[in-house]
Amino acid sequence: MKRRSKADSQKIKEFREKLKEIWDPDNLDHIINADETPWRYDEKGKTTWAPIGSEGIIIDGDEKECFTLIGGISASYQLIPPIFIAAGKTHNVEKNWFGESHPIDSCNKDEKYLTDHTKSGWTTRESWARYICFLRKLIPDNPDLPSEKNKIYLVCDKYPPHVPANQSTTRHRGRRRKQPIEQSDDQLPEQSDDQPPEQPQRRSRGRPRKIQQHRPRGRPRKHPLVPRQQRSQGRQPKKPDPVEAACSKYNVEILLVPEGTTDLCQPLDCRFFGAFKCHAQAIIDEKETQNLVSQIHGNRIDPNFKKLELTRPQIREILINSYYDTKRHLIEDSWIKALDLDES
């Protein structure tokens, strides 16, 4: 398990100052915070039913039994339609998972939710680029305003698919080559023109090896006689980063929340996601209670007791209703707590 990074007060201060610089009261709908949150098909509550004296009660669900939901809120305290991500390779899996398919590629502003798919069911760089395109369709450019006024500021954490290539700070994990030590002319030894340059002596490491003739091993080289420099010229160019390309095309700037500070600087994690998921879980708990009460006859439970099993479309409908039932003051409190706007 990866240890969480410590919060840096200086980075928090710089991040909040950056947000306050772009905080325009007349253009708050262009400042958006978006993030993912998982939801299990069979979300477990705080309690469970089990016979008295039973041991080894398992209440944790399987990681495969969940899907990703991308939520978003703007600084104008408006909700961005949620995106449900299914696991698969075609648009057909979206309908199989959620009952209806509303592809994010052909989005409509009047849709309450949209669907997308990735091979793993988690957010990828390609799906995040599609989300950036969706935000621009949701907030179109105004030709009467300058480019800076039309820019969308997307606040998100440093989850790798969120970070454009030009903002990535990931270091190369390969073996570092030793850099040659630069020496001045005064430090170089003097050599005469007649004397050949002295060859550097190699240190012997143990027993000297015998010189053997070359014997091919394994698969032959594809280009045995072509220098490596010429081989590299014939390679295909590196594919452009989809997130960086989408940001450049749709005039979107990504503001990354400092590591280890999402509970302090990301509005969705401050208040919104907690209230939204608690509300959805309360609806599911109420349905389970009604199912249990309906199968109690007198002081006994029906021997053919059937557990409530919600389908994915039913869970999707519960999440959508809970998402839009979230009070406006919770969205406002999320931004105030995250960015400390009450002091400004």
Q: Please state, rounded to an integer, the average pLDDT across all residues of the chain.
A: 79
E strands present in the chain: 31-40, 66-74, 79-87, 114-118, 152-156, 252-256, 296-297, 300-301
Q: What is the pLDDT of residue 299?
A: 76
CA atoms within 13 A on the CB side of 126: 10
Q: pLDDT tens across 50-83, in order?
A: 666 555 555 554 444 678 999 999 999 999 999 9
Predicted pLDDT of residue 291 = 87
Residues 6+ apart with CB under 8 A from 334: 73, 267, 268, 270, 271, 272
Q: What is the mean pLDDT of residues 88-109?
A: 85
For residues 140-167, average pLDDT: 91
Confidence band, pLDDT 50/70/90 cuts, at residue 199: low
The confidence score (pLDDT) of residue 50 equals: 64
What is the per-residue pLDDT across 212-251, written as a single tens digit (0 to 9) for each?
Answer: 555 555 555 555 555 555 555 555 667 889 999 999 999 9
CB atoms within 10 A of CB 257: 24
* pTM over the 0.85 mark: no
Q: What's the token pair of residue 337?
A: 């707590």
Cβ contact 168:269 at 8 Å: no
Q: Kindly list the structural domains of the chain, giving each domain's residue range(s) and its CATH number in brackets, ordered by start.
A: 9-44+62-168+240-343 (3.30.420.10)
pLDDT at position 99 is 86
At 156, the amino acid letter reads: C
Can you tell me which residue has the tokens 């990828």? Answer: 124
